[in-house]
């Protein structure tokens, strides 16, 4: 049922979808699949919807905390990953420009 739902959602965005070499993906055991699509949200839909196996995804932990995206990511077995750029904080302090022309 999940694959059918994902295929239906995917076909809303894409008129035609061509899957090639799906038989080369092992049906069980570990495998790493790297999506080559410009939209990070469509990759999981296409991969989970059209591969003949269960898959899980690495998802930015920041996205997992968002209500709608997080719900779908968890439903697709998303694995939260904290990214360095999401943990960055603004620095405190003062930067002062100093002129050395009088030296």
Give the pLDDT confidence of 8-58 residue by residue, as tens digits.
888 888 888 888 888 888 888 988 887 776 677 777 778 888 888 888 888
Task: DSSP letter for 22, please.
Answer: G
Confidence band for 65, pLDDT divided at 50, 70 and 90: very high
Burial of 27 (0-12, 13-18, 19+ CB in 10 A): exposed
The b/e string for 89-103 (b: 16+ C-beta within 10 A; e otherwise) is eeeeeeeeeeeeeee
Residues paired with 78 in a beta bridge: 57
Answering whether pTM is above 0.85, one says: no
Would the pLDDT of 81 be above 90?
A: yes
């Amino acid at each position: 049922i999940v694959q059918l739902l994902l295929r239906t959602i995917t076909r809303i965005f894409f008129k035609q979808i061509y899957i090639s070499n799906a038989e080369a993906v092992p049906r069980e055991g570990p495998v790493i699949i790297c999506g080559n699509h410009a939209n990070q949200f469509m990759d999981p839909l296409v991969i989970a919807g059209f591969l003949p196996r269960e898959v899980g995804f690495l998802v930015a932990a920041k996205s997992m905390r968002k209500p709608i995206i997080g719900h779908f990511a968890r439903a697709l077995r998303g694995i939260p990953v904290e990214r360095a750029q999401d943990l960055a904080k603004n620095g405190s302090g003062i930067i002062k420009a100093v002129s050395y022309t009088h030296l």
